[in-house]
Structure 1
């Protein structure tokens, strides 16, 4: 089945591309989610208009993403978590946690745009990439620290 993408789809193509996909993927996901339209002769005539519109829209989004990237690069998030032996966290800090904390600071970002390969499971300072546009990636400084003061972390046997 050939479809025309109305939005960028990861690992498939960009807005305005004509791509060949499995029938089920097209019928059950791309078309109902309005991510694509079927590539009929009538729709192919509209592709040129869509591509011109997509180029304009992408350029506008890129400018907005660049401005947002400069704001976001100055943001610093601090997470306090319970810590076990060897500074290993009970639980972890996930992309959802980071998105929630960014939203609390006034930045609305979808958690799927936070490119965290795996959750943060140890104390420290991290620079987490946030994909704002297909060409623009910003980094957010994330610090994970213990929720207990340093004096309380002395083992009970030493007292």
Structure 2
């Protein structure tokens, strides 16, 4: 099945990429979640529009991504969440919460879709979060979750 990606899919591609995947993966995962659209002959115009939008949103160069990486890896970002006994959170920390915490602590504006949590954050403490700044550059962000 030939599809046009509309969102970043880890291990598959970026928005605007044309990919060939197995029918079940495309029909049951990518299409229902609006991560891709079917390829058509007129799809090239759509691919060009997606790539243009991505280029304006994306970090322009590797050097800029490296400086952003150095800024993110300087120190830990503190996030306050409601927690119960034993340090378990009521709910989980989402990528949107992480992006908001980074911007409120004086860091750069991050797209929540570029933040990757290895596993759901459901407890207080220190957690490592990966941020894809550029296709060649990713940063490790230290997140300190405290009970509040």
TM-score relative to the length of structure 2? 0.63
Q: How large is the RMSD of aligned CA atoms in angstroms?
A: 3.9
Partner of 1:35: 50
Unaligned runs of 5+ in 2: 27-36
Deviation at 1:145, TM superposition (A): 1.4
**1:97-154, CA deviations, whole angstroms, 9 ceiling, x for partnerless residues?**
011122222411100101114431001101211111112111111111122xxxxxxx
Q: How does 1:79-118 map to 2 (within 5 A)?
A: 79-104=79-104, 105-118=106-119
My pick for the range that moved more, 136-145 or 116-125, is: 116-125
Unaligned runs of 5+ in 1: 37-53, 148-159
Partner of 1:126: 127
Distance 1:29 1:129, change over 3 A: farther
Deviation at 1:77, TM superposition (A): 1.3
Q: Distance in 2 between matches of 1:12 and 1:123?
A: 32
Q: Distance in 2 between matches of 1:4 and 1:90?
A: 38
TM-score relative to the length of structure 1? 0.59
Equivalent residues of 2:80, 2:145 under 8 A apart: yes
**1:40-77, CA deviations, whole angstroms, 9 ceiling, x for partnerless residues?**
xxxxxxxxxxxxxx9xxx9x621211111111111421
Q: Distance in 1 between matches of 2:89 and 2:117?
A: 17
Instruction: Tell me whether 1:146 sits opposite 2:147 in the alignment.
Output: yes
Q: How does 1:38-57 map to 2 (within 5 A)?
A: none
The higher radius of gyration belongs to 1
Deviation at 1:89, TM superposition (A): 0.7
Instruction: Tell me whether 1:26 sits opposite 2:27 in the alignment.
Output: no
